[in-house]
A and B are shown apart, each in its own frame.
Chain A
Amino acid sequence: MKTVHPLPDEASVVPVRQPLITVEKLTVDMPLGRSGSSVRIVDGVDFTIGVGERVALVGESGSGKSLTARALMRLDRLAKLSGRVDFDGTDLLKLSDRDMGKLRGSSIAMVFQDPMSFLDPLMTIGDQVAETLRIRGIGKAEARKRALAVLDELGVDRAAERLDAYPHEFSGGMRQRVVLAMALVGEPRLLIADEPTTALDVRVQDQVLDLLDDVSTRRGLAVLFITHDLGVVAGFAERVMVMYSGRIVEDGEVASVFAKPSHPYTQGLIKAVPRIDQDLNTLYAIPGAPPPPLARPSGCPFHPRCDQRFDRCGVDLPALQPVGMSRVACHLLDGKGA
């Protein structure tokens, strides 16, 4: 049944793509209690995703990946957003709530981390998948038919029978397919997948990745893939953006970033992953833990954990600058490093 899609030859030149979504100086502030003060979680993020492009956003827990993703769809009711999110020529941050609502699900869709908690436990699978269409005024029978088609496409076996089942009756992998079906049924152009495989075990994760791979290729769908697992990135994405403490610290083609990571944080992340295909030695561990948004260190937020830091790191915030094919935010690359 499955079509096997030939993998791009990594020697081939990266195709020049039409930009689909362009994010400029995006910041996300979250309110703190009732005091009226807020904390900046995402701090001036710029990036572009081309039509049909697969981009991975990686970073440790709490670095702001999810908030960035949700900001693109304006899903956090409490978040204060600023900057520009240009989608197909319109600035999403300036749209009315109604118009934004129309865009959601049909132009941009989202798949979430924990498939269980992102399904309404009281509604049948079929209704939930069809809901995206029903909201748009499509008739019940038609919506159901299309839901069934998407579920079939995603390899849910006996899909017709299972339309009337409830989420709790599905296994983790199946649920993730359902969530994916919910996102795809509206035929969006950009899919934001927020850690869609983190809660799954390796084998199921693998299946879901294959699925995403197939669907995005077949539909020419752009995917923003959020994860903290570099292994997953390597096998799936074309481009990777590394996020640390609310900022992008490195952004480049997957091949070049993995081959020669520029930022010490990226280097650390890659070294810290235990690998099945290499000799055993002590794992490299980045010391310490990422800073919470309220206690970001001055200068480069990574400097307290960085083993290549020097004086300037504690003072100046490095900007994201082009370095070869990539962009990197690190003072080391200013040529003045150790």
Chain B
Amino acid sequence: MLAFRAYSWFLSRRLGLALLTLWGLASLVFLMIKLMPGDEAQMAAGADASAAQIEAVRERLGLDAPVIMQYFSFLGRLLRGDLGTSIVTLQPVLADLEKVLPSTLELVFIAMLLNLAVAIPAGIVAAYRQGGVFDATSRVTAVMLGGMPAFWLALVLQYVLGSVWRVVPISGQQSYGMASPIVTGAPTLDALMALNVGAFFDALHHIILPAAVLAALFATQIFRTLRASLLGVLRSDFIMAVRAKGATARHMLVRHALPNSLNPVLTLSGTQAGAMIGSAVLVETVFARQGIGAYMFNAVAQKDAFAVLGSVMFIGTVVCLVNLIVDILQLLVDPRIRAAQLGSQGQ
């Protein structure tokens, strides 16, 4: 009961802070968009619209109100879960996002999986065999991969692997005729739900290169952080104590060293989640995937205020959520943080 109260207190505090952050983010971006030149009413009315038509649209969209009023009505709608209407698609932004989000989330999720699945084992081995061949080669690889512009890597790999060698699809999210009924909007998931193995592997085949490219830069960061953190932990006294008990290297690494070096890695992957969605724009463009990157890019280009706001709010929410998850994971991993954050003295 006590623990439950402590957890809910912790959660509500974090959620409160996250909401505060989101509100700040929304306000900032709202202001930014309103400061941008360009006339939304004109964009909505069309390039060839006459002045009278533009004014009519302006009135209809409520753009004739003072900016501060627009801000408040925006906040009011936001509270009701309404992200506003896109002036380009003339659709509720939420509906638009529903179409583009799953694809991006799928990409980012798989990239994150790849990222961790490659970087963590590599980091462990490199740190344990510090100075060995694996350490040297993986560090060089990390530096090289981390040094290439993501879109450049994407273009080159797309050409070499996709166009010339044809080992992966060149672009797109699935092959012709492989679409499964839409449930989530993410092709791999939808294929799974439709129990269509072929479609699932087809979608996976399409996502693997984009996800790998996206993961590359981030994996190098995780690898380096984990390696450094592990080296620190491996030097610490309790590792010697574990060895003095006669533990095998494997036991020592997995049960003691790794959990103790996870904290900076968790923190880093929290910040990476947001950055990944940001970088998804580049990868989505190259691989012709329909995701939030392309949507947002288009929205900014068209001064589609609510579409931009909606996208940013979404990314902000993901970032806040991921950070919340990271906080909770840290809490679960480390009893000291648990004690400090939850205030329970472990009774």
Contact flag (A, B; Cβ within 8 A): yes
How far, in whole Å, are A182 and B251 apart by their CA atoms in the complex?
16
B256 — which chain A residues lie within 8 A by C-beta? 120, 122-123
A258 CB within 8 Å of chain B: no
How far, in whole Å, are A179 and B256 apart by their CA atoms in the complex?
16
Contact with A along B91-127 (1 / 0, CB 8 A): 0000000000000000000000000000000000000
B167 CB within 8 Å of chain A: no
A104 CB within 8 Å of chain B: yes
**Shortest Cβ distance from A34 into B: residue:** B131
A179 — which chain B residues lie within 8 A by C-beta? 241
Count residues of A near B (Cβ-Cβ below 8 Å): 32
| Known contacts A165-B346, A169-B339, A169-B345: A105-B245 contact under CB 8 Å | yes
Whether the Cβ atoms of A117 and B238 lie closer than 8 Å is: yes
B237 CB within 8 Å of chain A: yes
In the A-B complex, the 9 residue pairs with the smallest Cβ-Cβ separation, listed nearest first, are: A104-B246, A105-B246, A166-B335, A105-B245, A117-B237, A118-B241, A132-B245, A110-B244, A169-B346
List chain B positions with a Cβ less than 8 A from chain A: 236-238, 240-248, 251, 255-256, 259-260, 333-336, 339, 345-346
How far, in whole Å, are A75 and B246 apart by their CA atoms in the complex?
10
List chain A positions with a Cβ less than 8 A from chain B: 70, 73, 75, 101-106, 109-110, 112, 114, 117-123, 131-132, 135-136, 165-166, 168-169, 179, 182-183, 186
How far, in whole Å, are A182 and B245 apart by their CA atoms in the complex?
8
**Shortest Cβ distance from A114 into B: residue:** B237
Q: How far is the CB of A158 from chain B (nearest CB, A)?
A: 12
Q: How far is the CB of B251 from chain A (nearest CB, A)?
A: 6
Whether the Cβ atoms of A135 and B241 lie closer than 8 Å is: no
A109 — which chain B residues lie within 8 A by C-beta? 244-245
Whether the Cβ atoms of B245 and A131 lie closer than 8 Å is: yes
B248 — which chain A residues lie within 8 A by C-beta? 101, 135
B333 — which chain A residues lie within 8 A by C-beta? 122
A135 — which chain B residues lie within 8 A by C-beta? 245-248, 251
Whether the Cβ atoms of B260 and A122 lie closer than 8 Å is: yes
| Known contacts A119-B238, A122-B335: A104-B346 contact under CB 8 Å | no
How far, in whole Å, are A182 and B247 apart by their CA atoms in the complex?
13
How far, in whole Å, are A114 and B339 apart by their CA atoms in the complex?
22
